[in-house]
A and B are shown apart, each in its own frame.
Chain A
Amino acid sequence: MTIPRLELKNISHSFYGVPVNKDISFDLYPGEVLGLIGENGAGKSTLMNIVAGVINPLSGERVLDGSPYEPSSPADARHAGVSFVHQELNLFSQLSVADNLFLTNYPRRGGIFTDKAQARRHAFEALALMDLPFQPQTVVEDLSPGERQMLEICKATIGGPKLMILDEPTTSLTSRETSRLFDLIRKLTEAGTSIIYVSHILEDVKSICDRIAIMRDGTLVDVRVAESVPTSELITLMVGRPLDHLFPERAQSPGTMAVLEVKNLSATGLIDSVDLTVTEGEVVGVFGLMGAGRTELARVISGLETATEGEVHLAGKDITHMTTRDRIAQGLSFVTEDRRGEGLFMDYSVVTNVALPSLKRWATNALAPLRRRVMREAVSASTSELKLAANNIDRAPVRNLSGGNQQKVVLAKWLLTGPKVLILDEPTRGVDVGAQFEVYRTTLDSADAGAAVLVISSELPELLGICNRIVVMRLGRVVQVFDREEFDARLILGAAFGESQSGESV
């Protein structure tokens, strides 16, 4: 009988009295890939932090290769053979690839001087093992996001870890890089490394993992054999209820009055002669490949980038030359794709975050005291509408919320302004299935309330699910528009890739 690589016995942990991991036990064998799935906030990150020595659990036992394993720090865990590839990158962008790979364990000459030549040689081998197309001396800032992610994984493989944890490793990878990553995972498991693979992309989890562990509300719901479990069942296990409809139904059809009118809008190097009209109650999707100018279009409309030509009208009013602040006052709301960097004040509470754009409703002027009780009630109504799960909306920093709940905070903030035009950029990125549904529902609700909605997304299924029309962008221009009756995933993708309607390439 083989000794398990890792055994977790009755692991429990809580933060400030709120249990986040409840009595979790499982084991993992050498060379096995275990998928770990669950909604945001299910307790996956905490559990992985416990395995990787970032957190010490309040109770429970950890066993590595048959002996007790109690790492006091990530470095300790690394020393014991457990490496953790975080979702956020931890690379030094001004240093070279080789320097990053050997930052903590640099080859030395005579125990004192760094041995650059040896580091480069080792780095070369490590890169070759993963078939990575860059050189040890390349500076990290010259790498693409996907290449950086691969480098981060490469760093974790150095020294032949016993157990490697990958947390959402594919979010910034191209499909080719993803398949290269899967090749690497197979190579590592053949050599006996065990892998815990955390991801929201269920197809990937099913294809690369041997078994799949499902977490919900801090408990381990089940561990299933990957081959035999259908995706629908995985979703049911994660959310605890069957999801009949992934997309909510629309109550009303769009009106005819144009609310957002974009006329021949250009911004040098970003977008080129874009024409677009969104009517009252209409949901228009913007699809395109990376760099097609989708986000840039939204930023020009909201005044964060300057238009060089053309006009933007909101409810008949020319807003082309207004500041972002004035556009917000006119009823424009923009939920950016960079939630942490641009959407939220991570150290501040839910109330502070949500109230910010609407403050003038609760005070007569900028120096007058805010009517805080009324303000809190309005925020609380808005967040409970979105089913936000937060313990303390007055005090606790939004940093402590899960990705899905953070997105709900951003949405609540803009819905509270009562937008006439609502622009959403990748609204469900990094958001779990349950919260995704809430995002769609509130989006459609605000359209039903008369808002003109523009949704930018790389997820074609979600655009097909919620939009009245889909606009396809390519190289900064609108190349094709599809009405709901004409929705066809194949044709829309084709347009994004530059196929013309007759099938020739543009």
Chain B
Amino acid sequence: MPFFRRLLASEWFVAAIIVAFIAGVAPFATGMLTERNALNVLSNLWPLLIVVVGQTFVLVIAGIDLAQTAVINVTNTFAAMLVAQSLPEELWQESVLWGSVIGPEGGPLADGGAGGATLAMVIAVTLGAIIGAGNGLAVAKLGMPPFMVTLGTLLLFNAIAIWMTRSENVSSLPNEYVAVGQAQIWGPITVPMIIAVVIAVGAHFVLSRSTFGSWIYAAGSNPQAAIISGVPYTRVVVSAYMISAALATVGGILYSTRLEGGRPTLADGFLLDIIGAAVIGGVSLFGGKGSVLGAVFGAIFFVVLANGLNLLNLPFTVVFMIKGIVIILAALLDVARTKLLGDSR
């Protein structure tokens, strides 16, 4: 019994579920265990993992960032517009950016090569971080509820993404830009994998080993005690939202480059995958608890789940029902864990 309790409360519980799920579904899902499918699963995993790690920072400070998908929608299209090689006038002349930032010759960084592509991404991440800072300031300085603030920015920036693009996808991206999402280095090792692993490992060390990490947990566990103990509360909360939005942008660029286009509705519908993955991984919605390792397992679980259900050829209505049930179970698990820890006297 103590063993089971400890397992339930640890990140490895999710790892066990993933293995059990694969073992249970593989016999019925043809092609699940092939190399091709494994590569496919991995390429779906890396962007989600980065976004979930960002969300983890906000959940640990007892917040929630619903705006991550809107940030993805705005930044991936904006970055794509900066590097686009050509933008057909008949589609784009209605856009507010026509004539100033973009024109028939594409964006201002269209001929920038690798440097231009990098600069576009840096600009996008900065833009994302600014939006995150706005969320963070509203929560920390004005004391607004994070759910409402980020729900507002979610709607606002989704609309801005569509308004900016007139609902058109940005295609004709330069190869240097697209390479970020696709380039293979050696065997299964790709550029997105390296980016995701570096971010996850870095985030893990920051959260679990650094002063900033201790501040994050303290701010999420008991804000008043944190302030009294000298934790720079506002700075910590704003940083968490900035990290969340910046990592959402990075993940969004990986999605968009893989699809070779900037899309104003790219991340619509991802929100529950992101938060579901974090919570399944043991990041508590009540704040103060959770780890990057757990969030990584949660992301793997969601990607494997979606892939398995897809290979079973289930109708998409059933897939959504199952995802819904999984998220409810994850919330239940969160409560059960909190109770377990509360009871362990």
Q: Name the B residues within 8 Å of A356 (CB-CB).
A: 214, 218, 226, 229-231
Residues of B in contact (CB 8 Å), total 27
Q: Are A400 and B228 in contact (CB under 8 A)?
A: no
Q: Name the B residues within 8 Å of A365 (CB-CB).
A: 211
Q: Are A325 and B232 in contact (CB under 8 A)?
A: yes
Q: Are B345 and A345 in contact (CB under 8 A)?
A: no
Task: Let me know if A397 is at the binding interface, CB within 8 A.
Answer: yes
Select which of A304, A329, A345 is within 8 A of B222 by beta carbon: A345
A4-12, A110-118, A210-218, A334-342: which lies at the interface: A334-342
Cα–Cα distance between A352 and B209 once the two chains are bound (Å): 11
Q: Are B229 and A367 in contact (CB under 8 A)?
A: no
Q: Are A370 and B222 in contact (CB under 8 A)?
A: no
Q: Which A residues from 320 to 377 make CB contacts under 8 A with B?
A: 324-325, 328-329, 334, 336, 341-348, 352, 355-357, 359-360, 363, 365-370, 372
- Shortest C-beta distance, A230 to chain B (Å), equals 35
Q: Are B222 and A367 in contact (CB under 8 A)?
A: no
Q: Name the B residues within 8 Å of A294 (CB-CB).
A: none
Cα–Cα distance between A15 and B343 once the two chains are bound (Å): 11
Task: Let me know if B167 is at the binding interface, CB within 8 A.
Answer: no
Q: Are B228 and A366 in contact (CB under 8 A)?
A: no
Cα–Cα distance between A365 and B345 once the two chains are bound (Å): 36
Cα–Cα distance between A363 and B213 once the two chains are bound (Å): 12
Task: Let me know if A413 is at the binding interface, CB within 8 A.
Answer: yes
Select which of B212, B217, B230, B344 is within 8 A of A348 by beta carbon: B217
Q: Which A residues from 459 to 488 make CB contacts under 8 A with B?
A: none
Q: Name the A residues within 8 Å of B224 (CB-CB).
A: 341-342
Task: Let me know if A429 is at the binding interface, CB within 8 A.
Answer: no
Q: Name the B residues within 8 Å of A368 (CB-CB).
A: 210-211
- Shortest C-beta distance, B248 to chain A (Å), equals 20
Most B CB contacts (10 A, CB to CB) among A346, A366, A413 go to: A366
Task: Let me know if A399 is at the binding interface, CB within 8 A.
Answer: yes
Residues of A in contact (CB 8 Å), total 36
Cα–Cα distance between A370 and B206 once the two chains are bound (Å): 10
Q: Which B residues from 185 to 221 make CB contacts under 8 A with A?
A: 205-206, 209-212, 214-215, 217-218, 221
Q: Are A399 and B225 in contact (CB under 8 A)?
A: no
Q: Name the A residues within 8 Å of B103 (CB-CB).
A: none
Task: Let me know if B289 is at the binding interface, CB within 8 A.
Answer: yes
- Shortest C-beta distance, A427 to chain B (Å), equals 15
Q: Which B residues from 83 to 122 make CB contacts under 8 A with A?
A: none
Q: Are B288 and A347 in contact (CB under 8 A)?
A: yes
- Would you give the 0/1 interface string for B218-254, flagging 1 where the beta carbon is closer than 8 Å to chain A? 1001101111111110000000000000000000000
- Would you give the 0/1 interface string for B43-62, flagging 1 where the beta carbon is closer than 8 Å to chain A? 00000000000000000000
Select which of B206, B211, B227, B345 is within 8 A of A359 by beta carbon: B211
Q: Name the A residues within 8 Å of B210 (CB-CB).
A: 363, 366-370
Cα–Cα distance between A363 and B217 once the two chains are bound (Å): 17
Cα–Cα distance between A334 and B225 once the two chains are bound (Å): 11
Q: Name the B residues within 8 Å of A367 (CB-CB).
A: 206, 210-212
Task: Let me know if B272 is at the binding interface, CB within 8 A.
Answer: no
Cα–Cα distance between A368 and B210 once the two chains are bound (Å): 6
Most A CB contacts (10 A, CB to CB) among B221, B226, B228, B289 go to: B228
Q: Are A325 and B231 in contact (CB under 8 A)?
A: yes
Q: Are B228 and A304 in contact (CB under 8 A)?
A: yes
Task: Let me know if B341 is at the binding interface, CB within 8 A.
Answer: yes
**When A367-B206, A372-B209 are in contact, do A328 and B225 touch as well, CB less than 8 Å?**
no
Closest residue of B by beta carbon distance from A15: B345
Closest residue of B by beta carbon distance from A332: B230
- Shortest C-beta distance, B213 to chain A (Å), equals 9
- Shortest C-beta distance, A359 to chain B (Å), equals 4
Closest residue of B by beta carbon distance from A348: B221
Q: Name the B residues within 8 Å of A345 (CB-CB).
A: 217-218, 221-222, 225, 288
- Shortest C-beta distance, B139 to chain A (Å), equals 18
Closest residue of A by beta carbon distance from B212: A366
Select which of B209, B221, B225, B231 is within 8 A of A370 by beta carbon: B209
Closest residue of B by beta carbon distance from A49: B345
Q: Are A360 and B211 in contact (CB under 8 A)?
A: yes
Most A CB contacts (10 A, CB to CB) among B206, B225, B229, B342 go to: B229
Cα–Cα distance between A366 and B289 once the two chains are bound (Å): 20
Cα–Cα distance between A70 and B342 once the two chains are bound (Å): 24
Cα–Cα distance between A427 and B227 once the two chains are bound (Å): 20
- Shortest C-beta distance, A368 to chain B (Å), equals 6
Cα–Cα distance between A360 and B225 once the two chains are bound (Å): 18
- Shortest C-beta distance, A256 to chain B (Å), equals 30
- Shortest C-beta distance, A406 to chain B (Å), equals 12
Q: Name the B residues within 8 Å of A302 (CB-CB).
A: 228
Closest residue of A by beta carbon distance from B214: A359
Q: Name the A residues within 8 Å of B226 (CB-CB).
A: 356
Q: Are B221 and A329 in contact (CB under 8 A)?
A: no
Q: Are B229 and A352 in contact (CB under 8 A)?
A: no
- Shortest C-beta distance, A17 to chain B (Å), equals 10
Given contacts A329-B230, A347-B341, A397-B344, 6 further A-B contacts (CB under 8 A): A346-B221, A359-B211, A367-B210, A370-B209, A372-B209, A413-B229
- Chain A interface residues toward B at CB < 8 A: 15-16, 302, 304, 324-325, 328-329, 334, 336, 341-348, 352, 355-357, 359-360, 363, 365-370, 372, 397, 399-400, 413
Subset of 24 A-B contacts with CB under 8 Å: A324-B228, A325-B231, A329-B230, A341-B225, A342-B224, A342-B225, A343-B225, A344-B225, A345-B221, A345-B222, A345-B225, A352-B214, A352-B217, A356-B214, A356-B230, A356-B231, A357-B229, A366-B211, A368-B210, A368-B211, A369-B205, A369-B210, A370-B211, A413-B229
- Chain B interface residues toward A at CB < 8 A: 205-206, 209-212, 214-215, 217-218, 221-222, 224-232, 288-289, 341-342, 344-345
> Top 7 A-B pairs ranked by shortest CB distance?
A328-B230, A366-B212, A359-B211, A369-B209, A325-B230, A366-B211, A345-B221
